[in-house]
Homo-oligomer: A and B are copies of this chain.
Amino acid sequence: MTARTPRYSGVIPPVVTPLTADGELDRASLERVVGHLLDGGVSGLFALGSSGETAYLTPGQQDQVIEVITAAAAGQVPVLVGAIETTTNRAIERANRAAELGADAVVVTAPFYTRTHDIEIDRHFRDVAAAVDLPLLAYDVPVCVHSKLDPELLLPLAADGVLAGVKDSSGDDGSFRRLVIGARELPGFSVLTGHELVVDSMMLGGADGSVPGLGNVDPHGYVRLHEAAVRGDWAAATAEQDRLVGLFDIIRAARPGTASATAAGLGAFKTALTLRGIIATNVMSPPMRRLDVAETATIAECLDRAGLSRA
């Protein structure tokens, strides 16, 4: 087996997007989030991912997010930027804007809203790569786009230099394993997992790194987990992962039946960051509500149990 030299590896959290009370980007809080993540030892930042409320931000707000994150990162780690748009031309437009604003790479899903087909998904990635002068990563997220990127689709795109990597949030382990095995002949291609609850397992299976939403809350923990896995200390990796699984209970703080899974999950990340003193408010983009005082108290307990400091 050739030694892997993936362009992107380690922990690359999908950065949350803090908002002010009136729903505008909270630049100071976002800068603090970046500082918090860099302090945790992350090896990259993923701006405008699902955890960054990308689907909730206007193009203008997205531009602001890219500006703040690239400025705050200041070249210490690469900034991957999501160009999460329904189809090719729209993704190209956003990807090129990201390039202008200093992104190091762009991340694109399969077409959504519209029905699609593997032939069209293939052309989609090829067209985006041809039109954008940055490395391109595919984002496999069937829960959002309702189609799956199979290894049979991804590996030829990787071999042809169209894709520099993939973020897999598909939950299809068998597919992921076959992707990892296929990628052994593509040592520079990055295989990243978005499954924050089983990063240890995915690393054992051959992932190059992770993109954990929960990594916003505890980047140090995910970095310890990654490093333990890299050095083969699986007992340490699983212990760290188990602790983080416990921390993930914050997403169950929202009262049942009162919010979407997205609002409950991202709301919990923001609330935890507020409790940790990193961001100013847990305001969510409309139409999502913010978590309330009782829900916040539940999250505080989870932080305490996980051994995380609070402000």
Contacts and interface: CB of A to CB of B under 8 A. Distances in A.
Given A114-B55, A114-B56, A171-B171, A89 B245 contact: no
A89 B50 contact: no
Contact of A171 (B84, B124, B172, B245): B172
Number of copies: 4
A202 interface: yes
Contact of A116 (B86, B258, B260): B260
Interface string A92-136: 010000000000000000011111110111111001000000000
Contacts of A122: 287
Given A124-B286, A181-B242, 20 more contacts: A50-B114, A55-B90, A56-B88, A56-B89, A56-B114, A89-B286, A113-B145, A114-B144, A114-B260, A114-B262, A120-B263, A120-B287, A127-B287, A171-B172, A177-B198, A178-B197, A198-B201, A201-B201, A206-B238, A234-B234
Interface of A: 23, 50, 55-59, 61, 84, 86-90, 93, 111-117, 119-124, 127, 143-146, 171-174, 177-178, 181, 195, 197-198, 200-202, 204-206, 232, 234-235, 238, 241-242, 245-246, 248, 257-263, 285-289
